[in-house]
Amino acid sequence: MAEWLRGLDHWIGNSPGYFAGRPVLLDLNVLKPQPSEIASLVTELGTRGIRIYAIELEGASLGAELPPLLVGAKEATTDGLLPGRKGGQEGSGREGKAEGRAPDDRADTGAAAKGKAGASKTGESEPQVSHYDSGTLMIKAPIRSGQAIMHAHGDVIVLGSVASGSEIVAAGSIHVYGTLRGRASAGALGNTAARIFCRRNEAELLSVDGWYITAEEMEGVSRGKPVQAFLDGEGLRVETLS
């Protein structure tokens, strides 16, 4: 648990204010802690400004001092996707239910930028998602404006587009097989090898391990093109894909 909290602190350091004002669902089906450990975890999250509105833990019975158990939740369908397990998340605090593995690509031209990523938008309803044993999260539906996807256990693959005003944050790489118009932050827990790939780059912001580049900096260089973003030496590099 201590290691997980250290990773969370690193994440918050890269995206300060991400949880501000957001009700968070805490899925503990993987960790399966004891009630005393849950109380301690909720307290630890509270000191970080993370408000837990419900806990998801199958077969549990929690005391009145803890947030209520989530009941009646439905798993997302995996119809038409690669074989894998449905629904379920790795243990994490998050808004909505969302938890990528990306193929490698080559490139030719690019731009570089330095900086540390900042706060994000608030989320609304949740898109349809599927999870894989490798830690990959696949999202079948487009991500709408105002939605936020946070996946602390691997890569994120989006089969559709990502709207302006939305955000994806992943511990691993991010793949968008449509147009990326919102924010995308890969390697959020310190994975410097993470990358961002999209078929059409209209992003408001791209970030890898906290290093970021804005839409204005990409204008005239990689906007409207298929790109990959990755860390290269002194900062973040965005290259068009051949």
The SS3 of residue 169 is strand
CA distance 211 to 67: 35
- Are 135 and 57 contained in the same domain? no
Please give the residue that has the higher pLDDT: either 11 or 101: 11
Do 69 and 112 sit in the same domain of this protein? no
143 and 155 assigned to the same domain: yes
Shared domain check, 114 and 65: no
Helices (H), the chain: 2-14, 35-47, 215-218
pLDDT tens per residue across span 77-104: 333 333 333 333 333 333 333 333 333 3
* C-alpha closest to that of 54 among 74, 28, 79, 33: 28
The pLDDT of residue 180 is above 90 = yes
Residue 126 phi/psi, 5° resolution?
-105, 140
Which of 42, 63, 92 delimits the end of a domain? 92
**Tell me, what's the pLDDT at 134?**
56
C-alpha angle 151-225-181 in degrees, rounded to nearest 5: 45
CATH number at residue 169: 2.160.20.70
If asked whether residues 102 and 221 sit together in one domain, one would say: yes
106 falls in which pLDDT band (50, 70, 90)? Answer: very low
Give residue 216's domain range: 96-241
Read off the pLDDT of each residue in 136-164 and give the average, rounded to a whole number: 89
Categorize the per-residue pLDDT at 242 as very low, low, confident or very high, splitting at 50, 70 and 90. confident
Flag whether pLDDT at 125 surpasses 60: no
pLDDT > 70 in the chain, percent: 69
Summarize pLDDT for 30-86 with one digit per residue, the tens: 778 887 888 888 888 888 888 787 787 777 677 777 777 655 443 333 333 333 333
Domain boundary among 92, 123, 141: 92
Same domain, 61 and 131: no
75 lies in the same domain as 104: no
User: What is the chain's mean pLDDT, rounded?
Assistant: 73
pLDDT interval class at 194 (50, 70, 90) = very high
Both 161 and 69 in a single domain? no
Averaged pLDDT for residues 211-236 = 89
Q: Is residue 60 located within the same domain as residue 102?
A: no
Do 86 and 139 share a domain, yes or no?
Answer: no
The domain spanning residue 35 has which CATH number? 3.30.70
Do residues 80 and 147 both lie within one domain?
A: no
Q: What are the Cα distances from residue 187, in Å, to 9, 41, 89, 207? A: 14, 24, 18, 8
pLDDT of residue 150: 83
- Tell me: do 54 and 138 sit in the same domain: no
**The pLDDT value given to residue 61:** 72
Instruction: Give the span between the Cα atoms of 60 and 74, in whole angstroms.
Output: 17
CB within 8 A of 7, min separation 6: which ones? 152, 189, 190
Show which of 65, 92, 119 is a domain's final residue: 92
* Residues in CB range of 89: below 8 A, 6 or more apart: 27, 29, 30, 97, 98, 99, 131, 153
Domain count of the chain?
A: 2
